Amino acid sequence: MRFLTILMCVFLAIAVSQPANAITAAKEKDIQELFKAMGMTSMVKEIADMSVSFVINLEKKSHPDMSKQLEQEISKAVYDITMATSGDFENTAATVYDKYYTQEEIKQLTVFFSSPIGQKYSSVLKPMMQDLGAAAETVSKKNQTGVKQAKAVEEILKKYGYK
């Protein structure tokens, strides 16, 4: 039994150490070009800014008397840490793009995001998503979607003997 456990651990270690489907150098280069065309750097900065806002709002609730100096220091630390990991984020994102797109599709996306309409898409995506979120919330309130869902779940739970 001990031998079998050791053998399984060795196989697991070998499997984990081997890249599953490593991205070819050419495809990696194309993905990096796509990220540049998409404005990935500005997206990472937006993520860092959102992280800062989230942390500061959270800390202000716990420490309403927080000084501006302390807020700035915390903001800088959170931003810097987020930006320091941006390379890892891009590498991970590259593996996701590799998984879902062929190299030819990556090239086509790069052409799109380099075009005027692709640049517009990138520039309006964030506010457009906010508008769509607000629209979804309005429709949900109008149709009482949450209330209907809660009632349906409650009825199903009752049917199975839950209170």
Of 8-17, 51-60, 76-85, 102-111, which range is least confident? 8-17
The number of residues making up the chain comes to 163
- Predicted pLDDT of residue 18: 41
Question: What is the C-alpha to C-alpha distance for residues 9 and 15, in angstroms, rounded to an integer?
Answer: 10
Structure tokens belonging to residue 152: 């349906």
- Predicted pLDDT of residue 39: 87
Q: What is the mean pLDDT of residues 36-47?
A: 86
User: Residue 10: pLDDT above 60?
Assistant: no
Task: Parse the chain into domains and list their residue ranges.
Answer: 23-119
Is 45 in contact with 125 (CB distance < 8 Å)? no
User: Residue 7: pLDDT above 90?
Assistant: no
- Predicted pLDDT of residue 71: 92
Confidence of residue 134 (pLDDT cuts 50, 70, 90): very high
Pick from 36-50, 91-105, 124-138 the range whose average pLDDT is largest.
91-105
pLDDT tens, position by position, 93-111: 999 999 999 999 999 999 9
Q: What residues have CB less than 8 Å from 145, skipping those under 6 apart?
A: 139
CA 19 to chain centroid, in Å, comes to 23
| Averaged pLDDT score across all residues of the chain | 86
- Predicted pLDDT of residue 43: 81
Q: What is the CA radius of gyration of the chain?
A: 24
CA nearest neighbour of 34 among 91, 109, 133: 109
Q: What is the mean pLDDT of residues 73-86?
A: 91
Confidence of residue 16 (pLDDT cuts 50, 70, 90): very low
Structure tokens belonging to residue 6: 């050791």
